[in-house]
Amino acid sequence: MGRLAVILPAAGRSTRFGDPSQKKVYAELDGRAVWLRALDPFLTHGEVEQIIVAISPEDREMFDRRYRDKAAFLNLDVIEGGEERADTVARALGRIPPACDLVAIHDAARPCLTGELAAAVIAAGREHGAALLAIPVRDTIKRDGGDGLTTETVPRDGLYLAQTPQVFRRDWLEAAYARRDVGGPAATDDAQLVEAIGHRCVLVPGSAYNIKITAQEDLKLAAALLEIQSGRDRGRDPSPHPFEDEPPAWAELPKIDPNRLFGP
């Protein structure tokens, strides 16, 4: 069995965070930077061969000054990201070691991921070729007519909020990025590109605790969630899985035969 490469996109501009003094991935969360907390579950996962952290070119000097020793100790491959999140991932794909046949991509802005959730989505990605953490939409969804007034209520049945990690067979992910329309609308996650070349992705039960730091208030929420998680077994996700009372449908999917060639 091949090894796992982890890509940690950390090269965003943090425009929605609203703190000109620092990017959200470098904000401190209970004494440690957000990006380092996002990394934690992968540091103890037995299949990880290489972790690739993609930072913004403008952050390079600060990053080296503040984190060079830690990055060296953790044997991180630190590269510079691109304009859009997908450009960042595309650059990281070129750094994946030959030993890796599976790739996990996890937002550096998601610091509350547990080891249990990371292991679950990695296992599903290994088994089915493409998997992501996701939670079902629980609120009613409205569409805005551009003037702050509703135009419709969007049926929420079957709708999920995608999270990360997203885990893919390396060949599928590379084929998806090779077919990416660089000039077209930016893909906001990686599963979208893998779906576009004909692979359906397994929806693995995520957690409402696996939040993405986007605005300032998310940092306070993340601190509270980490407190809850550290108060219980950090290895288990304390939030009830959306499918707690029944196994997720993907558990019954046929296993992928790694020798079968799929798609393009």
Q: Which residues bind ligand CTP (CB under 6 A)?
A: 9-17, 25, 54, 81-85, 88, 107-109, 212, 214
Shortest separation between residue 133's beta carbon and ligand LQXTBERG, angstroms: 9
Select 164 or 207, whichever has its Cβ closest to ligand LQXTBERG: 164
Shortest separation between residue 85's beta carbon and ligand LQXTBERG, angstroms: 5
Select 128 or 187, whichever has its Cβ closest to ligand CTP: 187
Give the DSSP per-residue string, 1-40.
--EEEEEEEE----TTT--TTS-GGGSEETTEEHHHHHHH
**How far apart, in whole angstroms, are the C-alpha atoms of residue 138 and residue 71?**
39
The option from ligand CTP, ligand LQXTBERG, none interacting with 84 (CB < 5 to 8 A, set by class) reads: ligand CTP
Instruction: Using DSSP, state whether 118 is helix, strand or coil.
Output: helix
Tell me how far the alpha carbon of residue 67 is from its chain's centroid: 22
Angle, CA 32 vertex, CA 26 and CA 37 arms, to 5°: 85
Member of 74, 123, 162, 208 binding ligand LQXTBERG (CB under 6 A):
162
The number of residues in the chain equals: 264
The stretch near ligand LQXTBERG (CB under 6 A) out of 56-64, 89-97, 123-131, 158-166 is 158-166
**How far apart, in whole angstroms, are the C-alpha atoms of residue 86 and residue 104?**
14
The stretch near ligand LQXTBERG (CB under 6 A) out of 53-61, 112-120, 159-167, 254-262 is 159-167
Residues with Cβ < 8 Å from 244, sequence gap 6 or more? Answer: none
Member of 188, 196, 236, 264 binding ligand LQXTBERG (CB under 6 A):
188
Residues with Cβ < 8 Å from 189, sequence gap 6 or more? Answer: 132, 162, 164, 166
59 forms part of the interface with ligand LQXTBERG (CB under 6 A) = no
Count residues binding ligand LQXTBERG (CB under 6 A): 8
Shortest separation between residue 164's beta carbon and ligand LQXTBERG, angstroms: 5
Shortest separation between residue 252's beta carbon and ligand LQXTBERG, angstroms: 25
164 forms part of the interface with ligand LQXTBERG (CB under 6 A) = yes
107 forms part of the interface with ligand LQXTBERG (CB under 6 A) = yes
Buried/exposed code over 201-215 (b: 16+ C-beta within 10 A; e: otherwise): bbbbbbbebbbbbbe
- Say how many C-beta atoms besides its own lie within 10 A of residue 39's C-beta: 23
The option from ligand LQXTBERG, ligand CTP, none interacting with 54 (CB < 5 to 8 A, set by class) reads: ligand CTP
End-to-end CA distance of the chain: 22
Shortest separation between residue 161's beta carbon and ligand LQXTBERG, angstroms: 7
- Say how many C-beta atoms besides its own lie within 10 A of residue 226's C-beta: 18
Q: Applying CB under 6 A, which residues contact ligand LQXTBERG?
A: 85, 107, 162-164, 188-189, 212
